[in-house]
Each structure stands twice: as structure tokens, then as C-alpha cells.
Amino acid sequence: MRFTHATALLTTCALLALTGCDNDDPTPTPPDGGTTTDAGPDAGDTAPPTVTGTTPEADAVDVAPGSAITVRFSEPVQRDTGTVSATEDNAALTLETGHWEDQGRTLIAHPTQPLRAGARVEVTVSGYRDVAGNPLAAPHRFSFRVGEDVARPHVVSSNPAEGATGVLPVQTHKVGTNTALRRLVTVTFNEKMDVAEGRVTLRDQTTPANAPRSLTGTWSDDALTLTVSIPRPESDLPPLEEDSRYSLDLTLLRNQAGHALDTAHASLGDGRLDFTTGERDGVTEHACGHALLEAPVTLTAGASPTAMYPATDAPHEFYELTLPANGAAFLGYSEVVSDERDRPVILYLNQDVPIVVHDVTEAETVVPSTVTPAPQVCLPAITHTLKFTAPAGDRFLRLTYGPTPLEKFTFVFERY
């Protein structure tokens, strides 16, 4: 089960209702832990927790200077009952408070400064108790060696960008005869990476109660770009929530020489891609449904502005337009007829095509219009939009496409 902002609030309200708010509530019955004394709900648990794994592993070498220290326990532990301490070549190493995952089974702590190249780091885990109060049988100790100060890979670009806001929380794509939701994230590195390792971890920073999601990306043929597809976490939830902060942890990735990501590089700093979602774009999602699922109406544009050219103004229609040759390029025309009131018009294009709109009812008047990149809802089916307002009064509008090197392109026509 995952939590949204609304469910988190409802949960809080429900808890308040259960505990009561006045002095008239009956005294609650204590839990039955035995016949003579109340030993609590975990009275039968006498097994101590254990450390089942760490990152870095014990005796690891060539550990990246920016690595975090991760400790995994056999069961949930009480978070404030123990400590994780570390030394770097026998000198005390300061760690951040750290954060917990997996319902209290995993602690991740980052050193406040990058580890020194070549240093031996010793870590001690002690004092933690499970929820029944059983302590670790003994402190758990392990050590590792920091790698030499070698050139490490770093991120050169990403989509969304580091620190981006207003990121679309969902994108659509075709699956069989239907559309499905996902969110793609791409990250490009400065050098070829080890394509055998593509694991990343997505964390919901706005609703930490949602468990981290382990995802595996797909590498490009040149081993430079990782594409991560974020699916729905559950069938009735979107891939990402609106207006929420997320981080994508990339620290498991390595270059082909086996060196870890440079977590001190200015591109990301901590090895995590941070971004904030905005609202969904339902208007573009609707147009994507036409572009992804429907067979286009195929037309050939007019070759002359004074000859006949086809109408391309049926609402919700998906067109494929072929342009006549015009020298070394392609150029063509189509018609849109306005109705009884001013209406915004959008053409959802699959290419960046230069388009000019003229009102040719009496004379030839330019209608202001813009072609701009479209919201990235269903790339590459829709990449750009043409927007203009069709004036009221059954006006005849001529759309001029080109000159362009493109002979064919598609678009969805919508009036609003």
C-alpha cells in the first residue's frame, strides 16, 4: 500500500478519532501478554536482531569517496536505541543523522565530507534493539578501503534536469491496443558505463511513508545514457504523484573500469537526481490518445495558395499530411474554417514544422500563431504544438506548411 497526501491526512484523523479527545472514554484494556503480567505484544520474541548486510561490504576495496554507509538488519529495530560510528584511518569520521527505509530494517548514513582517497574506514554498529526490546548480541564491526582519487564518471545531462520543478508526473505510451501510464527519466554520463548495472532507487521525499522503489534502467547502445521507466506502483495509482518531491539514487552505477559515480561532482553533488512534479496535462493526454491509437486520415497538401487545398479542421481528427516538393524542400497548404465564435485551435504535431496562418476570406491577413515544443506527454508521437485563435464568423483560414525538409508529418486537430 502506498500513501498519497490525502490518505496520510485521513490516517492522522482516524488515529485521533480512535484515541479520543475527552475524559469520558473508558479506560482502555491493556494488551494480554500472559496470565499474570502484561508482557506486551512482542512478549514471545526473544531473538536478538542481527546485521544481515552492509554497503560497502566488509573488506571492500576501491570504494567511491562519496559513498554512503548502509546497514541492513534482520528485522525492524528501534531507531533511537543504537548508533553507527566510523573512523577514517583511526580518526573519528562524522556521519549525518541518516534516514531509515524498509520499515526500520535499513539505515543509510552519508559522511558529512567525501571519504579520503586510500583511507581505511572502520564502522561499528551497536546498541540497537528490535521492537520487542532485544538488543544486538554484540556490536557489529566491518571495514573497507576507499579507492584512489581516480577520474570517476559524472552526469552531463538528464531529463528531468537536476532540481527541476513542474515535472509532468505521468506520460502515456501505447501497449497493445490501449494506452498506459509511465514516467521516463533519462540520465546521460560523460563516459561509457557498465551496462550490466542499471539499478537505481526512487524515493518519495514528500511522503516518506511510501517505501523506496528499486528500478532497473535500460542502457543506450553507446553505453552513455540510462533510461528508467517508472511504472504505476499500484494499478490505481499514477507513476508519480502530482506536486511531490522525488529523488533518484544513482550511486550503484559504475563506469566500464568499475569506478563508482562521482558524488562530489557539481552536476548532481550527492549522486541523486532531485526533481519536483507539477500537475498532469490532461489536454495533451487526450490528444496523445488519438495520436497513439488511431489510424491517420492521409491527405496531400495543396501545391499552390491559389488552387484547391484540403480541409484539415475536423475536431479530434488525426491527420497525416504529405507536402508537395518545392525545389529542394517541401511546401504545402490546407484549410481551416472558423465557426460562430472565436475558438482557440491547437495542432499537436509529431515534428517541428514551420507553419503560417492567414485569413483569406476577403483579403490575406496574417493570424498570429506560434509553434513551440509540446509538453513531453507522449514523445515522439507529439513533439510540438501550433496554437492560434480562429476568428469568429465562418472565416476561411489557410495554413502554409514549410518550406521544410520533411515530406510527411502527422498532427491531431483540436478546437477549444
Grid coordinates of 111: 559522511
140: β partners? 125
Q: Identify whether the C-beta of residue 334 lies closer than 8 Å to the C-beta of residue 299.
A: yes
Cα angle for residues 183, 186, 412 (degrees, 5° grid): 55
Q: Can you give the pLDDT at residue 28?
A: 44
Parts of the chain with a pLDDT under 50: 6, 8-39
User: What distance lies between CA 335 and its chain's CA centroid?
Assistant: 40
Q: Can you give the pLDDT at residue 21?
A: 40
The helix (run of H) or strand (run of E) holding residue 244 is: none
Cα distances (angstroms) measured from residue 370 to each of 202, 344, 386, 388: 37, 12, 6, 7
Q: Can you give the pLDDT at residue 266?
A: 87
User: What distance lies between CA 294 and its chain's CA centroid?
Assistant: 28
Separation of alpha carbons 248 and 268, rounded Å = 11
Residue range(s) occupied by CATH 2.60.40.1220 in the chain: 46-149, 155-280
CATH architecture of the domain 284-415 equals Sandwich (2.60)
Grid coordinates of 250: 544513482
Q: Largest Cα–Cα distance in the chain?
A: 100
What per-residue string of b and e applies to 35-70 under the rule 16 or more CB within 10 Å gives b? eeeeebeeeeeeebbebeebbbeeebeebbbbbbbb
Q: Can you give the pLDDT at residue 113?
A: 86
Cα distances (angstroms) measured from residue 182 to each of 169, 173, 209, 232: 8, 8, 21, 7
46-149 CATH fold: Immunoglobulin-like (2.60.40)
84: β partners? 125
155-280 CATH fold: Immunoglobulin-like (2.60.40)
Q: Can you give the pLDDT at residue 163?
A: 97
Residue range(s) occupied by CATH 2.60.120.380 in the chain: 284-415
Q: Identify whether the C-beta of residue 349 lies closer than 8 Å to the C-beta of residue 395.
A: no
Q: Can you give the pLDDT at residue 291?
A: 99
Grid coordinates of 261: 559515480
Q: Can you give the pLDDT at residue 98?
A: 86
Cα angle for residues 123, 253, 122 (degrees, 5° grid): 10
- Of 313, 328, 331, 330, whose CA–CA distance to 415 is shortest? 313
According to DSSP, the β-strands at 365-367 and 355-359 are antiparallel
pTM above 0.75, yes or no: no
300: β partners? 322
Q: Can you give the pLDDT at residue 30?
A: 44
